[in-house]
Amino acid sequence: MRPALALLEFDSVARGIEAGDQMVKRAPIEVIRTGTVHPGKYLVLVAGEVADVEEAVAAGRAVTTLVDVVLLPDVHPDVAAAVKGARRTGGGEALGIIETRTVAAVIQAADAGVKGAKVTLLELRMADGLGGKGYLLFQGTVSDVEAAVEIGSASVPERVISVVIPQLHREMGENLFADARFADRVGEE
């Protein structure tokens, strides 16, 4: 069995830190990352055995209300790698994009999409430089990307927007896959 993954998204930095502390005191979990993101939210990303992660999430929920939360008891390996910053390249005739209002929602959409269709999860961007939003990039055949975007979007009721772009233009692809952060790319020139 694959490990579980959970992300809790708090609208208070202080309460988020308190919740994270309660989580690791309650269950033997791996804290992948915690920290602040715009606009003034605090994220706690953890992994471990399913029962331990469920117990830790319950402890975090008990501290305060959440902006959003995702608990994936059987997280797809590509999603587990992407939340740790892995970016993939790949060929495909279509690019799928799902943009969400929260980080928890984009992780949920990514997991549902890669489990539901034969696509490559190229990147998962979470909050930083995005005003707290998240977005993901799928690549594959047009029909597979359409399916992944539909499945991923349906798994999160509050998505912002989703699109499928057949045959992404070469210049857009080169820029997008180099680094989607505009200011970082302009600084390289």
Mark whether 113 and 180 lie in a shared domain.
Answer: yes
Q: Are residues 91 and 168 in the same domain?
A: yes
pLDDT of residue 91: 73
User: Residue 28's pLDDT is what?
Assistant: 94
**Which domain-ending residue is among 72, 89, 120?**
72
Domain end among 27, 55, 72: 72
Same structural domain, 95 and 51: no
Top pLDDT among 174 and 159 is at: 174
Reply yes or no on whether the pLDDT at 184 is more than 80: no
Q: Is the pLDDT of residue 2 over 70?
A: no
Based on the domain organization, do 107 and 179 belong to the same domain?
Answer: yes
Give the number of other Cβ atoms within 10 Å of residue 87's Cβ. 15
Nearest CA to 45 out of 145, 127, 109, 141 is that of: 127
Q: Are residues 130 and 179 in the same domain?
A: yes
pLDDT higher than 70, residue 159? no
Give the pLDDT score at 171: 84
Q: For the segment 118-148, what is each residue's pLDDT rounded down to a tens digit? A: 999 999 998 878 888 999 999 999 999 999 9
Give residues with Cβ within 8 angstroms of 54, minimum separation 6.
4, 71, 73
Domain ends where: 72, 87, 113?
72
Domain coverage including residue 18: 4-72
Tokens 């060929």 label which residue?
91
Q: Are residues 63 and 98 located together in one domain of the fold?
A: no
pLDDT value of position 89? 78
Report in angstroms the alpha-carbon separations of 51 from 5, 48, 57.
11, 8, 10
177 shares a domain with 99: yes
Q: Is the peptide bond before 39 cis (omega within 30 degrees of 0)?
A: yes
> Are 122 and 179 contained in the same domain?
yes
pLDDT single digits (tens) 41-72: 999 999 999 999 999 999 999 998 899 999 99
Same domain as 140, residue 61: no
CATH number for the domain harbouring residue 67:
3.30.70.1710
Domain count, the chain: 2
168 and 87 in a common domain: yes
> What pLDDT is stored for residue 179 in this prediction?
64
Same domain, 29 and 110: no
Based on the fold, state whether residues 88 and 173 are members of the same structural domain: yes
Angle separating helix axes 50-63 and 13-26, nearest 10 degrees: 140
